Amino acid sequence: MRTASKVVGTLEALKEKIESKTARVGIVGLGYVGLPLATEFAKAGFTVTGIDVQPAKVEGLNRGESHVQDVPSAEIAELLKQRRFRATSDFSAVRELDTINICVPTPLRKTKDPDMSFIVSAVDQIAKYFHPGLLVILESTTYPGTTDELLLPTFEKLGFQAGQDFFLCFSPERVDPGNPTFQTHNTPKVVGGITPACTEIGTLFFSQALEKVVPVSNTRVAEMVKLLENTFRMINIGLANEMALMCDGMGINVWEVIEAAATKPFGFMPFYPGPGLGGHCIPIDPFYLSWKTKQSGIEARFIDLAGYINGKMPHFVVDKVQNALNTHGKPLMGSRVHVAGVAYKRNIDDVRESPALDIILLLKKRGALLSYSDPYVPQVKLDEIALTSRPLVESASQADCVVIVTDHSDFDYQGLLDSARLIVDTRNAMKSFPSEKIVRL
- Hey, which residues are catalytic here? 281
Give the burial class of 329: count Cβ atoms within 10 A of its Cβ; 0-12 exposed, 13-18 middle, 19 or more buried. Answer: exposed
Report angle CA 227, 104, 194 to the nearest 5 degrees.
60
Question: Which residues are 265's β-sheet partners?
Answer: none
269 alpha carbon, distance to own chain's centre = 22
Long-range CB pairs of 20-26, under 8 A, 24+ apart, other chains included: 21/45, 21/46, 21/208, 23/98, 23/99, 23/205, 24/49, 24/96, 24/97, 24/98, 24/99, 25/49, 25/97, 25/98, 25/99, 25/101, 26/50, 26/51, 26/93, 26/94, 26/97, 26/99, 26/100, 26/101
Pairing of strands 167-170, 24-28: unpaired
Pairing of strands 369-373, 379-382: unpaired
Helix 219-250, helix 285-295: angle, nearest 10: 110
Contact 157, 189 (CB under 8 A): no
CA distance 126 to 315: 44
Q: Which of 406, 289, 389, 396 is nearest to 354 (CA)?
A: 406
Contact 283, 358 (CB under 8 A): no
CA distance 48 to 420: 50
User: Can you tell me whether residue 26 is helix, strand or coil?
Assistant: strand
